[in-house]
């Protein structure tokens, strides 16, 4: 799976398209096949280490995603595989697949 990762503080030119392991749905989680991700001003601040929180690197920016559920973990009754969803993980959305609770 591909992800856009921030490996060091800086502008958009410091982001790298990287191959990473695909996530698996844990208990209470779903995996989303990401079809769209919002790019907002806070994403720029986060990768420059100028935002209120600073995720551990490497991390994928992207606070809001939309896509289709591709798998569900134990205990999940909704949404179901195939459902279209949106999620607001705060960061981590610039990926092909994302696991969320």
pTM for the model = 0.94
pLDDT for 91 equals 97
Average pLDDT, the chain: 98
- What the chain holds in terms of domains, given with CATH numbers, is 2-100 (3.90.180.10)
Question: Model confidence over 57-87: pLDDT tens digits?
Answer: 999 999 999 999 999 999 999 999 999 999 9
Give the chain's radius of gyration (CA, Å): 14
């Amino acid at each position: 799976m591909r992800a856009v990762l921030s490996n060091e503080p800086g502008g958009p030119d410091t982001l790298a398209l990287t191959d990473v392991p695909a996530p698996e749905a844990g208990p209470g989680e779903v995996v989303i096949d990401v079809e769209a991700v919002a790019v907002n001003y806070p994403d720029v601040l986060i990768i420059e280490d100028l935002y209120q929180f600073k995720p551990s690197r490497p991390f994928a920016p992207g606070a809001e995603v939309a896509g289709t559920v591709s798998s569900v973990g134990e205990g999940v009754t909704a949404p179901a595989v195939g459902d279209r969803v949106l999620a607001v993980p705060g960061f981590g959305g610039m990926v092909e697949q994302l696991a969320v609770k």
